Amino acid sequence: MIKILLIVGFIFIGFSIAMFVVDFLPVDFFQNQSDSTYLKIVPTETSSFSWSHYRVHALVLGLVLLGIAKYMGGV
């Protein structure tokens, strides 16, 4: 049980960190262009589902799961 909490916690933290990093990458990251255009994740429609809306939630959930695993004696 503790190992599952640790694994899921790290997955949520890794996902949220990756989503935050994507906001700071330029659009043409692998091409040499003179002007840097940066990709910003913004919702296209208010009714559509997007994982980018839940980055902070995923980070908090991952930290809570790691805290619970540590409290149970896993770390």
- The DSSP letter of residue 26 is B
Give whole-number Cα distances, 26 to 9, 30, 72, in Å: 28, 9, 42
Question: 4-45: per-residue pLDDT in tens?
Answer: 999 999 999 999 998 888 777 766 656 665 555 555 556 566
Q: Is the model's pTM score more than 0.85?
A: no
Average of pLDDT values for 57-70? 91
* Tokens read off for 43: 């919702």
- CA dihedral over 45, 43, 27, 36, signed as positive or negative: positive
